[in-house]
Amino acid sequence: MSFPPSVKRNMWGMEFPSPLMLASGTAGFGRELLNLGCLEGVGAVVSKAVTLKPREGNPPPRVQETAYGLLNSIGLANPGVEAVLDQLLPQVSDLPCPLLINVAGETADEYPAVVELLDSSSVPMGYEINVSCPNVASGGRAFGVEPSVVETVSSMVARVTEKPFTVKLTPNGGDMVEAALAAESGGASAVTVCNTFLGMHIDWRTGKTVIKRKVAGYTSPALLPLVVASVWKVASEVSIPVISSGGVSSGEDVLELLAAGAEMVQVGTRLMRRPWAAGELMAEIEDLLTT
């Protein structure tokens, strides 16, 4: 790699309009951002998680901001794969950038089942397999903490689709390098490093948490060094592309993640405040690279 890194990105045999992807759960399926006029600078949109059956999600409150980041406990709320195919995908056939569908499951079988159904649509260019969800067969431990399970899920998905897919790994338990190598040998086209970190906020006055499930997914610009380290470790070991996810709030952050070995960089929580963050980051990067 040469430094500073180039923002021209070639992955899966195609040139993406930018190295930035919108992280799952922060961009819907892209329709709202398209309506707001905020897809400039976006290399790809990753949809919110889709499951086999509809999921109404966790009881509110589902989000809580802490001093330096955001806790979320959405619970994979989504209308289920059939409604996604019938109602949501037709609304985003005119996205100006590729769409990856994030897929979640309660059992290993559900991943290939959802992917196979989605494969009947030409709208998604590929998939992101979310292995951070609890595996019912493993007593609720995340799929992603067991490399053999990651390999199994990856190979099951690889058997049902010709489209590329990335496996979104969890930073919560397990060895991410082992999990990434397992995804690669299962046939994954990339790995996403990483998902939200488990976090919790307790009101010390009452001992209570705002979020009903107590423990939630934590995102924050302050997590950047953790993501950089994980991306660097994983990218040093696998030969498939690594897509970073987490910690980005500036153009410098994006370039740092590319320098760590990320092929593409996801932006998520930043969109909550600035829906047009991708365009803003790309303009910042252009300035950084030309001055």
Partner 1 sequence: MKQPPSVDCACQVLSSREILPGVFSVHLQLPPGSPAPHPGQFVQVEPSRGVFPVTRRPFTVNSFRSGVLEIVFDVVGRGTALMASIEAGFEMRILGPLGKGWDMSGDGPWILIGGGLGAAGFQFLLDTVECSGVVLGARSASRLVPLKTRCPVITATEDGSSGTRGLITSILGEDVLEGAGHIALCGPLAMMDAVWKALPPELRSIVQVSTESRMGCGWGVCEGCSIPVHPGGYMKCCTDGPVFRGEVIDWDRWKEAGV
CB of 102 to partner 1, least distance (A): 13
To partner 1, the closest distance from the beta carbon of 228 in angstroms equals: 17
Stretch that binds partner 1, among 64-72, 185-193, 199-207, 232-240 (CB under 8 A): 64-72
In the 3-class helix/strand/coil scheme, how is 153-211 assigned residue by residue? HHHHHHHHCCCCEEEECCCCCCCHHHHHHHHHHHCCCEEEECCCEEECCEECCCCEECC
Q: State in angstroms the smallest separation of the CB of 128 from partner 1.
A: 16
**Closest approach of partner 1 to the CB of residue 174, in Å:** 27
Among 75, 72, 74, 57, smallest CA distance to 200 is for 72
Taking the least distance from each CB to partner 1, the nearer of 168 and 233 is: 168
b (16+ CB within 10 A) / e for 239-278: ebbbbbbbbbbbbebbbbbbebbbbbbbbbbbbeeebbbb
* Least distance from partner 1 to the Cβ atom of residue 278, Å: 11
Minimum CB distance to partner 1 smaller for 235 or for 254: 254
Q: Does 269 bind partner 1 (CB under 8 A)?
A: yes
- Candidate list 38, 97, 133, 194, residue with the active-site label: 133
Report the b/e string of 164-194 with b at 16+ CB within 10 A: bbbbbbbbbebebbbbbbbbbebbbbbbbbb
What is the three-class DSSP state of 279? Answer: helix
Name which of residues 215 to 254 contact partner 1 (CB under 8 A): 219-221, 249
Active site residue 133: yes
Residues 3-62 that bind partner 1 (CB under 8 A): 25-28, 32-33, 36-38, 40, 48, 56-57, 59-62
Binding-site size for partner 1 (CB under 8 A) equals 44
Q: Show contacts with partner 1 in window 167-196 (CB under 8 A).
A: none
Q: Judged by CB, which is closer to partner 1: 68, or 202?
A: 68
Is 91 a binding residue for partner 1 by CB under 8 A? The answer is: no
CA distances to 40, 205, 216 from 114, rounded to whole Å, are: 30, 44, 25
CA–CA distance, 241 with 85 (Å, rounded to integer): 28
Alpha carbon of 20 to those of 224, 236, 268, 285: distances in Å?
16, 21, 10, 11
Contact status: 82 vs partner 1 (CB under 8 A): no
Residues that bind partner 1 (CB under 8 A): 25-28, 32-33, 36-38, 40, 48, 56-57, 59-65, 67-70, 72, 74, 77, 210, 212, 219-221, 249, 269-276, 279-280, 283
Active site members = 133
